[in-house]
Structure 1
Amino acid sequence: MLVRAMLAQNVGTGCAFGGLGISVLAMQERYHASLGTATMGLSLTVLSMTALGPMMAGLISRYGLRSVMTSGVAMSLLGYLALAFAPTMALALAACALLIGPGSALFAALPPAVLASGWYPHDRGKVMGIAYLPLLVTFLPLLGVDIIQRHGLTAFYLSIVAIHLLLLPLMLGVADPPEELLDEQETVASPTGSAKVVILGSMLFWVIVVGDGILNGTAIAGSAHMLPVIKEYGVSLETGAMLLSSSGVASIIGSLVAGYACDRVGSATTLALSAMGFALAWTLIAITGWLPVLTVASFLIGFCGASVFPPISALVVRIFGIDALPKVLGLLGVMTLPFTFIMSAAAGWLHDLWGNYEPAFATLIATCLLAAAAFFGISRHLARMGAAEPDVCGGYLSPADPG
């Protein structure tokens, strides 16, 4: 079941972020659209994917993992099939918003975590790390750019359809965790309505919303705009694909290092350092198109992008407690939608308006610095409250861990 969880997560998020990210220029050319409109595909996918998040627990409880994940693969498959033959940009964007995003949410967002952690309750932190290793996003840019250049955009999307078809039988073999394993796990109570009000009334929650939204929006902007930026610097698309693959490798490293950083410096400080890393990456990209510098910047974007979710979860546990984790993460997903949806598209619109990326670079750098200031502020606040942030990023994954 762990292998199925890992493959599901990789196909869903890898095809969305890797596939839609590298096809921005090809979509722009096919539909004669502006860059801002072309990048909307990924933004709408993330929007619908996140919007469905709060309903996932109820769907899994009612229909079971097999039905939910299989339906998600089928829906996403139909989305990429529609994308391959969409005659207009409007229909292409509709496929992203109505099929690919919701489908990916059903089989690649929360379900892999439920599947992996449910079958291996005593090694939850370890199996979650394996299930969410971003492997496909490392290789897809290289393969995808080659397919697009040799055979066209339709062939590329059909290859993604083929990947989904290969995954479908594996999802039909998904089994919910046995009752005896579920009985061994402690039940984490969901906060009541009054607890929800307390969360929304917390100033720290809204600071986290701003910081988390900026970091996730910046990561999405990096996926959508890396190839267009590289093209403007005169770098070949093949080289650009290699840079995106290096970003994928960096994300694997970042997801591993994030836990260590939480142990050493605390979750809020880890998030602040990730924001500083994003700001440095975009500064390097803005300064020069020299390939070694672009390589470092691409690595930083991948590394920092993967260093957000574990510290955010640990910070939520640190501030609101383990019982509130599901509710707070659900609220964060909804409240950060404006950032995850707008930032990538806004970078494209700024480029269309000014004719270059300089305003977009300045905006991304400024917002990342704002996020860094927000998380450094939270870290200092927690220190003043009398605790040195004893965060363990992997610890929140195991209810049996009293730490």
Structure 2
Amino acid sequence: MEQISELDSRYSWVRLSLTLLIAITGNVGMWSIIVVMPDVQAEFGAGRAVSSLPYAVTMIGFAIGNLIIGRAVDRWGMAVSLFLAAGLMAAGYVVASHSPSLVALSAAQLAIGFGTSACFGPLISDISQWFQRRRGIAVAIAASGNYLAGAFWPLVLGWMAGDEGWRWIYMALAVLTVVLVMPMSVLLRRRVTELADAPKALPTGPRRAVLSPVRLQWLLGLAGVSCCVAMSMPQVHIVSLCVDYGFGATAGAEMLSLMLLGGVVSRVVSGMLADKLGGVRTLLIGSALQAVALFLYLPAGELASLYVVSLVFGLSQGGIVPSYAVIVREYLPAKEAGARIGFVMMMTIAGMALGGWMSGWIYDVTGNYQWAFLNGIAWNVLNVGIMLSILFAGRSAGFGGSAPSMPSAPTPRDI
């Protein structure tokens, strides 16, 4: 039992606090391009679709980075991986500040997105190693850093820009990354001395499914895509929806901020539930509530109702993505957590990108967002079905007894 003594310890909570601070600071890379996009469009004289390219490339880098840096964490640890990623982020900011064209800016944003990913999936994977009894809430708090960054940084960056322009913002972010993120990464150099794969006993039944690790991995990936296609409809298009209704972009931005803050609350509550019910059941609850919230958008046409539904949506869906990390740690080997969690996070980001584009395409075809919401609900139903299949697979192993033995786990290259 000596290996358990350092889990859920005082150091674990200190490390969690540091992880949250790094996540809030480092995830600015996801939001900076959104803030400067209007200025970038004006400077280069580009259309809305073309000026959105740097954001799309950022998300591609962010998705790939979750997988690759996650594997690096498994091999070299969080400190080394985050330090190198922060160096890449800082270099990307410097290059972006001197970009002569949208193509050059997009290349810089690819590096920024890749480096920023270290502050999401890999950080979540790392902190999951330091908790057992409170793993759910720890993962949820770490994952909240991304949403808190989304609620905090756009306001700060807008104030920072002033009359100096968007290039000055990027230089400031380069300094911020070197001064804060890189030194904080060194503080994460301590590693768990021995990783425990054995799941803790729960009254709700065994934590291990009869599915093979590879099959479970791909099911979780598909579930991640489907839930985030549904999730992306309000998150990506709420501002455009408000403009269509005549409420203006400011109201839409306020609804997005409200949605993200509700997501933080949802993540914390879901983390508590995960410690009691397990990751699969917690994710099912969140997915079902997300479907209900999407239905509520269909009749909502007034300003007040949209504010309320946006808050309900944030409170419903925030805990879904962190639950995947909890499930991976419950069902799959701890020594492969970085790569496994990174893969699922990559798939969720791919779902956000796919859903954002798909909803826009449906709008272009139909002239409104009604069918886009229905499309999101259909993908949400697919997510519920996948998670139910995983839950029933676990139940087939029987409740109350010891977990069934797992097949030999493949290497991360198998995913």
**TM-score per shorter chain, which class?**
0.7 to 0.9
Deviates more, 1:165-174 or 1:225-234: 165-174
Matching residue within 293, 302, 315 for 2:327 = 315
1:62-81 maps to which residues of 2 (within 5 A)?
68-80=81-93
Contact 1:25-1:228 within 8 A present in 2 as well? no
- Match for residue 6 of structure 1? 20
For residue 101 of structure 1, what is the aligned residue in structure 2?
Answer: 113
- Residue 213 of structure 2 corresponds to residue 199 of structure 1: yes
Higher helix share: 1
Do the aligned residues in 2 keep the contact of 1:10 with 1:132 (CA within 8 Å)? no
Separation in structure 2 between the aligned mates of residue 123 and residue 371 of structure 1, nearest angstrom: 27
Aligned to 1:186: 195
Cα separation, 1, equivalents of 2:75 and 2:283: 36
Conserved? CA contact 2:70–2:121, under 8 Å: no
SS at match of 1:165: helix
Q: What is the CA deviation profile of residues 38-80 of structure 1, one whole-angstrom value per residue up to 9, with x for unaligned ones? A: 5554443232222123332564577775554344334334545
Partner of 2:183: 173
Q: Does 1:373 align with 2:385?
A: yes
CA contact (8 A) 2:298 2:370 kept: yes
Corresponding letter in the other structure for 2:271: G
* 1:129 Cα deviation from its structure 2 partner: 5.0
Write out per-residue CA displacement over residues 238-269 of structure 1, whole angstroms, 9 at most, x where no aligned residue.
33232222122112211111123335554333
User: What is the distance in 2 between the residues matched to 1:59 and 1:356?
Assistant: 44
**1:270 and 2:282 are equivalent in the alignment:** yes
Q: Which residue of 2 aligns with 1:49?
A: 62
CA contact (8 A) 2:288 2:384 kept: yes
User: What amino acid maps onto 1:383 in structure 2?
Assistant: R
Matched, 1:225 2:237: yes
Amino acid at match of 2:61: S
Question: What pairs with 1:4-403 in structure 2 (closer than 5 Å)?
Answer: 4-16=18-30, 18-21=31-34, 32-35=46-49, 41-56=54-69, 59-60=72-73, 68-80=81-93, 88-97=101-110, 99-111=111-123, 114=126, 125=135, 130-134=141-145, 135-143=148-156, 155=165, 158-159=168-169, 161-174=171-184, 175=186, 182-183=192-193, 185-186=194-195, 198-200=212-214, 202=215, 204-263=216-275, 265-320=277-332, 322=334, 325-333=337-345, 338-387=350-399
The CA distance in 2 between the partners of 1:375 and 1:62, in whole Å, is 30
Q: Is the 8 A contact 2:224 2:348 kept in 1?
A: yes
Which letter does structure 2 place at the counterpart of 1:133?
S
Q: Which residue of 2 aligns with 1:397?
A: none
Instruction: Determine the C-alpha separation between the residues in 2 that align with 1:287 and 1:82.
Output: 46
1:45 aligned partner, one-letter code = T
CA distance in 2, matches of 1:72, 1:94: 16
Aligned pair in 2 of structure 1 residues 323, 7: CA closer, same or farther (>3 Å)? closer
Indicate how the Cα distance of structure 1 residues 300 and 389 shifts in structure 2: closer, same or farther if over 3 A, else same.
farther
Separation of aligned partners in 1, 2:154 and 2:395: 42
CA contact (8 A) 1:80 1:157 kept: no
- Under a length normalisation based on structure 2, what TM-score does the superposition of the two structures give? 0.71
Q: Which amino acid is the alignment partner of residue 238 of structure 2?
A: M
CA distance in 2, matches of 1:121, 1:246: 30
Shift of 1:103: 1.7
- Measure, in 2, the Cα distance between the counterparts of 1:24 and 1:300: 28
Asked if the contact 1:254–1:304 (Cα under 8 Å) also holds between the matched residues in 2, the reply is yes
The RMSD of aligned alpha carbons is: 4.1
Determine the C-alpha separation between the residues in 1 that align with 2:234 and 2:400: 33
User: Does the CA contact (< 8 Å) of 1:141 and 1:242 recur in 2?
Assistant: no
Query: Counterpart amino acid of 1:251?
Result: G
Shift of 1:110: 1.4
Aligned length: 372
Rounded to whole Å, the distance in 1 between the matches of 2:402 and 2:363 is: 43
- Assess, with a 3 A threshold, how the Cα gap between structure 1 residues 378 and 68 changes in structure 2: closer, same or farther: closer
**Does structure 1 conserve the Cα–Cα contact (< 8 Å) formed by 2:78 and 2:122?**
no
For 1:267 and 1:62, locate their aligned partners in 2 and report how far apart those are by CA, in whole Å: 26
Structure 1 runs not aligned, ≥5 long: 190-196, 392-403
- Confirm or deny: 8 A CA contact 2:197 2:332 kept in the other structure: no
Q: Which amino acid aligns with 2:380?
A: C
Relative to 1, partners in 2 of residues 1:241 and 1:95: Cα closer, same or farther, differing over 3 Å?
same
CA distance in 1, matches of 2:167, 2:378: 35
CA offsets, 1:217-251, max 9 Å, x none? Answer: 44455443222222222223333232222122112
Over the matched positions of the two proteins, sequence identity in percent amounts to: 18
